Structure 1
Amino acid sequence: MLDVSSRYLTLAKQLEAILDKDLPYISNLANFSALMWLELEEINWVGCYLANQSKSQLFLGPFQGKPACTTIQVGKGVCGSAYEQQQTLRVENVHEFPGHIACDSASESEIVVPLYLNNELFGVIDIDSPRLNRFDSSDQIGIEYLVKVLENKLSDVHF
């Protein structure tokens, strides 16, 4: 197992307790966002962007925070780039990211993790912070672990 900090292991236990494979995926994504909003420090937005049928755009899913951009082109901004590259992007200073999409001018740093459903790229989990360099490598490992917990629960969900 990866070196997941005890803080994220505790969050994973909480997440396991609130996710329900008998509920629609949207309900589980909403609870994931709510838990992250309550438990992660120094964040100002957390939620997901989900791929449309043609996989050319991401649309806003469940989130916590200020109103956000409703669509993002694949390959644009941090979310669209993480989706296109199929890898986590951890951005220390969003103002230095080429093509950054500023939905909230208070955001300074960001981490975006690809989200898979039944082994198919489904969208991204996006977390923003009003502090520069908020997310370090241990946060990345922990958040990726939490997303795996979410994916495992969603794998049994029917639409």
Structure 2
Amino acid sequence: MAKVELYREINMQVKALCDGEPSLIANLANISAILFDRLVDINWAGFYLMQDNVQGNEQELVLGPFQGKAACVRIPVGRGVCGTAVADKTSQLIEDVHAFDGHIACDAASNSEVVVPIIINDVVVAVLDIDSPSIGRFDQDDLNGVETMVSFIETIWPKK
């Protein structure tokens, strides 16, 4: 199946599963499970959520619902691929994470990564992160499919 069609199906499944469910954590958990189940050649799929750091003086990414091996719990804004996505408010499509300056290796088996920030009212509230053990696993079709999913997630994100 072509990636475009696969992501169309995944996004339909995500929308159907989240329809009418108000629990953000339940929805993010199911989305990470769907991604981990449906995408081939990945070793991690999940979310990091923006929260106050331990000192309470700034925000950082904190591990949220995911599928895969245990992961880094806290990531400072601007550090690693996820922290860069937050700082720049842009998606990151990384062919080889070892060539990414400042990469944080939560799982030494990860070699490529796609990260898309979830933005509400111009503020990054979380990121969707997917890792693969293969260099060059992700391409523009993956990025487009994940960005479409994040656009949907932004519509179901609780409003403050």
How do 1:1-159 and structure 2 match up within 5 A? 5-53=4-52, 56-117=59-120, 120-154=123-157, 157=158
Unaligned 5+ residue runs, structure 1? none
Q: How much has 1:16 moved relative to structure 2?
A: 0.8
| 1:35 partner amino acid | I
Amino acid corresponding to residue 22 of structure 2 in structure 1: L
Between the aligned partners of 2:8 and 2:58, the Cα distance in structure 1 is 32
Tell me, yes or no, if the aligned pair for 2:21 and 2:27 is still in contact at 8 Å: no
2:145 aligned counterpart, secondary structure: helix
Q: Give the SS at the match of 1:47.
A: strand
Deviations, residues 36-73 of structure 1 (Å, cap 9, x unaligned): 01111110001111111465311000000000000000
Question: When the two structures are superposed, what TM-score results if normalisation uses the length of structure 2?
Answer: 0.89
RMSD between aligned residues: 1.7
SS in 2 for 1:5: helix
Structure 1 stretches of 4+ moved >3 Å: 117-120
Ranked by relative contact order (alpha carbons within 8 Å, sequence separation 6 or more), the top structure is 1
Could you tell me whether the CA contact under 8 Å between 1:21 and 1:153 is conserved in 2?
Answer: no
8 A Cα contact 1:109 1:131, kept in partner? yes
> Do the aligned residues in 2 keep the contact of 1:115 with 1:147 (CA within 8 Å)?
yes
Aligned residue type for 2:9: T
Question: In the aligned structure 2, how far is the partner of 1:28 from the partner of 1:66?
Answer: 20
Q: Distance in 2 between the 1:55 and 1:111 partners? A: 25
Question: Cα offset for 1:99?
Answer: 0.7
What is the total number of aligned residue pairs between the two structures?
Answer: 154
Give the alignment's TM-score, normalised by structure 1. 0.90
